[in-house]
Amino acid sequence: MSFLIVCEEDIKRGLTTDKYFVWTERILREKGVNPVVVAEVTTSRWGIFAGLDDVLKLMDGIPVNLYAMPEGTLFFPHEPVITIVGRYLDFAKFETPLLGFICHASGVATNAFRAKLAAGDKKVFSFGTRRQHPSLSAMLERAAYIGGVDGVSNFAAEKYLDIDSIGTMPHSLIISFGSQIDAWNAFDEVVDEGVPRTMLVDTYFDEKTEAIMAVENARRVNGVRIDTPDSRRGNIRKIIEEIKWELYIRGREDVRIVLSGGLDIDDVYNLNDIVDAFGVGTFISAAKPVDFALDIVEKEGKPVAKRGKKGGMKQVFRDKKTLMDEVRLFGDKVDGKEPVIDKYIDGGIVIKKSDMKGARKLVLSQIDVIRKSDRIEDFIFNF
């Protein structure tokens, strides 16, 4: 049995390329054309850069130098996130998989980052791997984690990413018992200590009724999760306010409100005053890919560029306190700003690794800067 998944070896040898690179390779070889070029990867959007780890594995052993921003870096329009220096034929066919690795992962990381900004000081969990091919689960959770989420729901994250996964209970657990109270108490009995007792409260009755049932009947309740689909939900703010009132008059203000199911960025932003944690699926895992493109900007030491692109090998200089950037030629120096782009591959040898936890830390530090600025709503809504 094998799923319809392209195997790693085929990706590594460049099979997953676009046909026009197959023609390009054949033509350049037959005509003896193979210039030394500088090629850079840019987009006209902003975002959070992710996917470099897989790019390094892809390009390991290819005789090029590769420079990149660290994963987790907030990039701005037209800034190079990756620069490759080498003979064009050595890496031409890898454009397709290289972009595939970063376009998707950066889109996911960016929406995770936006959700975190929109949630204020409340938590955001990644719930969306079920919306994508399961072979992507670890990649999706990694990108969401880099983007700053507080936890990921896919169990495979524990094996592949060495981070804990988090979870409450599905409706199917409640329905299997046929009784909410029995299911809640069974969860409490069986699930590891240390896991918050977050009870799903919208299976048979309305959310308020089940929240009251939970705190009055379940042995331990740390939170209630509302997962009602949009189509049945009505005024969710009012529903949550009612639940919070009922918890308050029962002395259970400690019970956290977890909201999930079809949430988009507006829901997270508009409800962060009354919700403690958001479970966000499709908005993160099915984020629009960032439309990075790879372009030659220098050939045999001379700047060249197609219409709309700037020639020459570039460096991005950043003031880390304000996140204000300046793009200059690679060897330049800019007072008060630090270079962002670093060398990762030297002559086909990976000399620097990409670190997921470091990338997430970088994202959180950038979130801190943005929170203190007047640009927060731009980053949440203008993507």
Binding residues (CB under 6 A) for ligand PCP: these are: 127-128, 131, 170-172, 227, 260-263, 279-282
Q: What is the smallest separation between the CB atom of 203 and ligand PCP, expressed in angstroms?
A: 9
Nearer to ligand PCP, 102 or 140 (CB): 140
Nearer to ligand PCP, 239 or 340 (CB): 239
Reported in sequence order, the residue ranges of the chain that DSSP labels E, i.e. its strands, are: 36-42, 47-48, 65-68, 74-75, 82-87, 123-126, 151-152, 198-200, 223-226, 256-260, 277-280, 293-299, 302-303, 314-319, 324-329, 338-339, 342-346, 349-350
Q: What is the smallest separation between the CB atom of 200 and ligand PCP, expressed in angstroms?
A: 7
Alpha-carbon span 339 to 317, nearest angstrom: 4
Could you count the other beta carbons within 10 Å of the beta carbon of residue 80?
A: 28
Decide: helix, strand or coil at residue 177. Answer: helix
Nearer to ligand PCP, 102 or 259 (CB): 259
Q: Residue 349: exposed, middle, or buried by beta-carbon count in 10 A (0-12, 13-18, 19+)? A: exposed
Q: What is the smallest separation between the CB atom of 287 and ligand PCP, expressed in angstroms?
A: 12
Q: What is the smallest separation between the CB atom of 224 and ligand PCP, expressed in angstroms?
A: 13
Asked if 119 and 272 touch (Cβ cutoff 8 Å), the reply is yes
Alpha-carbon span 319 to 313, nearest angstrom: 20
Q: What is the smallest separation between the CB atom of 196 and ligand PCP, expressed in angstroms?
A: 16
Q: What is the smallest separation between the CB atom of 72 and ligand PCP, expressed in angstroms?
A: 23
Q: Which residue is nearest to ligand PCP (CB)?
A: 281
Nearer to ligand PCP, 131 or 310 (CB): 131
Could you count the other beta carbons within 10 Å of the beta carbon of residue 196?
A: 15
Nearer to ligand PCP, 93 or 114 (CB): 114
Nearer to ligand PCP, 41 or 118 (CB): 118
Alpha-carbon span 27 to 29, nearest angstrom: 5
